[in-house]
Structure 1
Amino acid sequence: MFAAIDPSTHPYAALGLTRNPDGSITRAAEAPITPPSCNLTEPTDPVLSKDVPLNPSTNTSVRLFLPRTALDTATKLPLIIYVHGGGFVILRAASTIFHNLCTTVASETPALVVSVDYRLAPEHRLPTAYDDCMEALHWIKTTDDEWVTKYADLSNCYLMGTSAGGNIAYHVGLRAAVCAVDELGPVKVNGLILHQPFFGGVERTPSEIKLATDTILPLAVSDIMWELGLPLGADRDHEYSNPMTRPDVLDKIKDLGWRVIVTGCDGDSTVDRQMELAKALKEHGVKVLGKFIEGEYHGYDLLEPSKSELILGAVQEMVNSPNK
């Protein structure tokens, strides 16, 4: 995910960032991006995709992914709202690794995937990303876009996010749990898919200590992401970072009967945080499916798509077996 620079000693450079004297950052280079593909006359792509403005005043948008097979059936598809990763600071919905994942999820589930291109920190610190994704939920409710109105089952909706996107999906889920009936109907969220979600805390966990100098996500890099992403003056025990500071809110998820999938691997410095959240959810009576494996590293299935069977299986299990 990072450049060929030691991220432990040069974390900003490893992320393609330059820290300016005034505290702002300059993004030196953008990761590879993939344009949308929406050619209805050339049946070569199994998944169609297109970009739609979300809020022109904030320059946000959503990228929709529609399996071509949906064009030939009257059966409506599950709807997955996807939130990309990048530590709140880098990457976009159009970034190739996320475009490819959404394409595969749309095809293999199958589902209509709505990927949110939210505003990045530090120009727009949390909770801005949460606000943008909540706006995407309201957009789905009110839009007249044909892909949504014709092909999506709004009563069968799921929030999914990768890494920092998993953090965002979790917090948006908490908001949706509060206003699910009154404000979002007919959009009905039925569960959360947290794909290697990014959480933190002031006290270091064993996995953070063990993998402090990991070449993929060392503490020096994750600390910078929290420094740039959290509200000014907040530390890593802020509720946006450390969900264990607000365990009471987990009851909201239980009361709605949602299921939550949490995936992770023991080569990821954040795995203890992920397992801690899964345990807390279970203790609060939430139906949790923990999908943890040995080895690998943070984002391994993005960088090596041939290893994406865990997350794809988790999505299918959630979406296609809603009452299991």
Structure 2
Amino acid sequence: MKNGSFSVIFDFPPFVRVYKDGHTERIHKTEFIPPSFDPSTGVSSKDVVINPETGLSARLYLPKVEKDSQNKFPLLIYIHGGGFCIESAFSPTYHKYLNSLVAEANVVAVSVEYRKAPEHSLPIAYDDSWASLQWVTFQSNDEEWLKNYVDFNKLFLAGDSAGANIAHNVAIRAGCEDLNGLKINGLVLVHPLFTGIEPIGAEVTNLNHLRAGKLWSVVCPSSTGSDDPFINPTKDPNLSRLGCKRVLVFVAERDQLRDRGWLYYEKLKESGWNGVVEFMEAKGEKHVFHLINPTSENAGDLMKRVVSFLNT
């Protein structure tokens, strides 16, 4: 640690390092790759600007379409993880994952490139993701891939880690506000980033809730703390208004966020929400293992479960 303006005031590997003079260093460096046609899956992708004023954008994915086919596909809005402050919809990790998911599930996908903290503090990422959902409704007759290939009666939200947190909060907002008549069919949460003031389960000994709380204080400085409903949905009085019919929650046995995912599942069932929630745990696995080792047996099982959910 250096003295003066270059002193580190917040160090959170592998995410960010914040200095006294206000500048931010991202410890995890994100590579960006362009959209493309992927010959291994037959999936095409392209980038769109959702809001030119803010720079909000997204990558659209289209599965292989047979010539003269009139088939319409479900629409998946996907929100990437990275602790609210790293990674990208345009990174190799998420580009490869979305190519695979779109091909396996036969869906059109919108992968959201939201603005990241701490330069763009929360709730900006929530607002960007909500704006992306609204953009879909407004572009249904103009954007070629949406107009020609999407069945808007089959709309899903999904995300991993911080992206799962954002997806949940977008679904809450959809249950409390009008979405221009559009309805969300289902929500997929993979290893959601939730926390709380009081430790639960393994947090009693590993103190993970304290680490998550420190990150939360940096990415959302206007928050009331770790029991803010944005980060602790069990404290949200609107939990029962979740704006979808079905939810699928994934946890990993060796993930420090595992107990929070389980608690979310239990509390959602008890909340009075009028829907069906499913749960799946990957034994022996860590956080976002399916992105780190996508060819593993457990990653394959996770993919199969997501595909089934999106096509039911």
Whether the 8 Å CA contact 1:31–1:91 is kept in 2: the answer is yes
After the TM superposition, list the runs of 4 or more consecutive aligned residues in structure 1 that deviate by more than 6 angstroms.
none
- Give the partner amino acid of 2:246: R
* Secondary structure of 1:192's aligned partner: strand
Per the normalisation by structure 2, the TM-score is 0.88
Query: What corresponds to 2:194 in structure 1?
Result: 199
CA distance in 1, matches of 2:41, 2:301: 24
Whether the 8 Å CA contact 2:41–2:100 is kept in 1: the answer is no
CA distance in 1, matches of 2:228, 2:248: 23
CA distance in 1, matches of 2:205, 2:65: 46
Deviation, 1:210, is 4.8
Whether the 8 Å CA contact 1:137–1:184 is kept in 2: the answer is no
With CA pairs under 8 Å and 6+ residues apart, which has the higher RCO, 1 or 2? 1
| 5+ residue gaps, structure 2 | 1-8
Map residues 1-324 of structure 1 onto 2, 5 A cutoff: 12=11, 14-15=13-14, 17-27=16-26, 30-38=29-37, 46-69=42-65, 72-143=68-139, 144-179=142-177, 182-185=178-181, 187-211=182-206, 222-232=212-222, 234-246=224-236, 248-253=237-242, 258-283=245-270, 284-285=272-273, 286-307=275-296, 308-321=299-312
Deviation, 1:145, is 1.2
Q: 1:257 to 1:61 in 2, by over 3 A?
A: closer
- Give the partner amino acid of 1:278: Y
CA distance in 1, matches of 2:168, 2:223: 22
- Give the partner amino acid of 1:226: W
Whether the 8 Å CA contact 1:24–1:122 is kept in 2: the answer is no
Among the aligned pairs, what percent are the same residue?
35
Whether the 8 Å CA contact 2:42–2:64 is kept in 1: the answer is yes
| 5+ residue gaps, structure 1 | 1-9, 213-217
Whether the 8 Å CA contact 2:41–2:99 is kept in 1: the answer is no
CA distance in 2, matches of 1:233, 1:281: 23
How many pairs align?
A: 298
- Give the partner amino acid of 1:152: V
* Secondary structure of 1:169's aligned partner: helix
CA distance in 1, matches of 2:264, 2:27: 35
Per the normalisation by structure 1, the TM-score is 0.85
CA distance in 1, matches of 2:195, 2:15: 22
CA distance in 2, matches of 1:70, 1:171: 36
Q: CA RMSD in A?
A: 2.3
Q: 1:235 to 1:250 in 2, by over 3 A?
A: closer
Whether the 8 Å CA contact 2:265–2:279 is kept in 1: the answer is yes
Deviation, 1:228, is 2.0
Deviation, 1:26, is 2.6
* Secondary structure of 2:32's aligned partner: coil
Q: For each residue in 1:283-314, what CA deviation from the matched residue of structure 2 results, as whole angstroms up to 9, or x when unmatched? A: 23531110112211001110001132233222
* Secondary structure of 1:206's aligned partner: coil
CA distance in 1, matches of 2:223, 2:265: 28
CA distance in 2, matches of 1:195, 1:149: 29
- Give the partner amino acid of 2:310: V
